[in-house]
Amino acid sequence: MINLIGTYECRADAKGRVMISSTFKKQLSSVLQDGFVVKRAVFQPCLELYPMQEWNLMMEKINKLNKFKKKNNDFIRRFTAGVQLVDIDATGRILIPKNLMDFAGIEKQVVLSSSVNIIEIWDKGKYEKAIDDATVDFADLAEEVMGNTEEDEVS
């Protein structure tokens, strides 16, 4: 499993090409040749860039879903909507398809932000708003998500 670190700003050109930071490229060096998958995020108006090995791990989980349940099929369809294979070219750029750029509202200013094992690709304005909105209740969220685990509780 990859654990990525960092948040970087860059620009998208008119064709939808985005430069991957050299720091991310170094962190991804062992998987660059395998390619990547870019998709719509589930909860935010951004894109997610999966190294192929991370995508394959996610697909293993999804393949365990019972496809004879409508909600599972609906989830799979929505989760994989717009999924595209991408590569990092010789100059360190990825080409993001127009339909995905439109989904995320990406125009020129882009933020690439690590999210554990994937990279989120944001329009800069939307990223800053999402961070500002999350700041208000982040302490409560952190306590709820990380502070009440039974493993960590001491009697």
| Number of domains making up the chain | 1
Is position 152 within any domain?
Answer: no
- With respect to residue 72, please indicate whether it lies within any of the assigned structural domains: yes
Please tell me the predicted confidence (pLDDT) of residue 149.
65
- The answer to whether residue 126 is domain-embedded is yes
Task: Check residue 140 and give its pLDDT.
Answer: 80
Q: Determine the distance from the C-alpha atom of residue 43 to the mean position of all C-alpha atoms in its chain, rounded to a whole number.
A: 11
85-96 pLDDT, tens digit each:
999 998 999 999
Closest CA to 12 of 112, 89, 87, 83: 112
Is 153 contained in some domain? Answer: no
For the domain that residue 87 is a member of, what is the CATH number? 3.40.1550.20
What does the alpha-carbon distance between residue 141 and residue 112 come to, in Å, rounded to a whole number?
23
Structure-token pair, residue 92: 């360190």
> What is the 8-class DSSP label of residue 37?
E
Structural domain boundaries, residue 101? 7-146
Task: Check if the beta carbon of residue 106 is closer than 8 Å to that of residue 12.
Answer: yes
Phi, then psi, of 38 in degrees rounded to 5 = -115, 140
The structure's pTM equals: 0.87
> What tens digit of pLDDT does each residue of 97-118 get?
999 999 999 999 999 999 999 9
User: Cα(122)–Cα(114) distance, rounded to whole angstroms?
Assistant: 11
Residue 109 lies in a domain: yes
DSSP 61: H
Q: Is 151 domain-assigned?
A: no
Looking at the domain assignment, is residue 79 inside a domain?
Answer: yes
Is 97 a domain residue? yes
Please state whether beta strands 47-51 and 118-123 pair in parallel, antiparallel, or not at all (unpaired).
Answer: antiparallel
Three-class secondary structure assignment of 62-114: HHCCCCCCHHHHHHHHHHCCCCEEECCCCCCEEECCHHHHHHHCCCCEEEEEE
Tell me what pLDDT residue 154 has: 46
Q: Report yes or no: 62 and 79 within 8 Å, Cβ to Cβ.
A: yes
pLDDT < 70 positions in the chain:
135-136, 149-155
